[in-house]
């Protein structure tokens, strides 16, 4: 019997469940490894070579190289793990969130100061998907 997923229809949202976790195990464990400074150095020196040390899929590696966080999430990435990637780049959660919504960081910052996503709980329209 498949897992029950009452959260599957929430727009613009991927819930990190057991299926995603299984799919993203190596991607997330790669990101986790970046919490050690020497690993960050090696990754920055040659991203592709570092990624090739991990049994990730080619799609996952490409998404990392392109810093396409929506795609990484689709491929099993979890945001708290992926945070180690943008932290390694010296970027903040707000930078990454803006990127995932397809907005400039300035526009995103202003949207948050104005009280957050204006369409609230209504269905998203026109947002970038991957």
Partner 1 sequence: MANITAGVASSHVPAIGAALDLGKTQEPYWAKVFAGYEFSKRWIAQQKPDVVFLVFNDHATAFSLDFIPTFAIGCAESFAPADEGWGARPVPVVQGHPELAAHIAQSLIQSEFDLTIVNKMDVDHGLTVPMSLMFGQPQAWPCKVIPFAVNVVQYPPPSGKRCYQLGKALREAITSFDQDLNVQVWGTGGMSHQIQGPRAGLINKEFDTNFLNQLVNDPETLSLKPHIDYVREAGAEGIELVMWLIMRGALEKQVKEVHRFYHIPASNTAVGHIILENPETN
Binding site for partner 1 (CB under 8 A): 6-7, 10-18, 21, 25, 28-29, 31-32, 34-37, 40, 69-70, 73, 78-81, 83-85, 87-88, 90, 92-94, 96-98, 100-102, 108, 111-113, 115-117, 120-121, 124, 127-129
Nearest distance in Å: CB 52, partner 1 = 20
Nearest distance in Å: CB 24, partner 1 = 8
Nearest distance in Å: CB 57, partner 1 = 16
Nearest distance in Å: CB 123, partner 1 = 10
Nearer to partner 1, 31 or 63 (CB): 31
Place of tokens 């990730």: 56
Nearer to partner 1, 58 or 123 (CB): 123
Rounded Cα–Cα distance for residues 82 and 27 (Å): 9
Nearer to partner 1, 61 or 74 (CB): 74
Residue 125 half-sphere exposure toward CB, CA atoms < 13 A = 3
Nearer to partner 1, 50 or 81 (CB): 81
Rounded Cα–Cα distance for residues 37 and 33 (Å): 9
Taking the CB of residue 15, how many other CB atoms lie within 10 A of it?
Answer: 11
**Closest by Cα among 64, 63, 60 to 23:** 60
Displacement of CA 44 from its chain's centroid (Å) = 18
């Amino acid at each position: 019997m498949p897992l029950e997923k009452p959260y599957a229809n929430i727009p613009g949202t991927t819930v990190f469940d057991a299926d995603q976790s299984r799919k993203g195990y190596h991607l997330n464990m790669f990101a986790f490894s970046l919490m050690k400074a020497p690993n960050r150095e090696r990754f920055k020196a040659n991203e592709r070579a570092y990624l090739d040390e991990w049994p990730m899929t080619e799609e996952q590696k490409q998404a990392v190289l392109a810093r396409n966080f929506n795609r990484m999430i689709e491929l099993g990435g979890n945001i708290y793990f992926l945070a180690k990637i943008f932290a390694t780049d010296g970027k903040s959660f707000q930078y990454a969130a803006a990127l995932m919504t397809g907005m400039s960081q300035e526009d995103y910052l202003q949207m948050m100061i104005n009280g957050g996503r204006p369409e609230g709980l209504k269905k998203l329209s026109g947002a970038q998907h991957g």
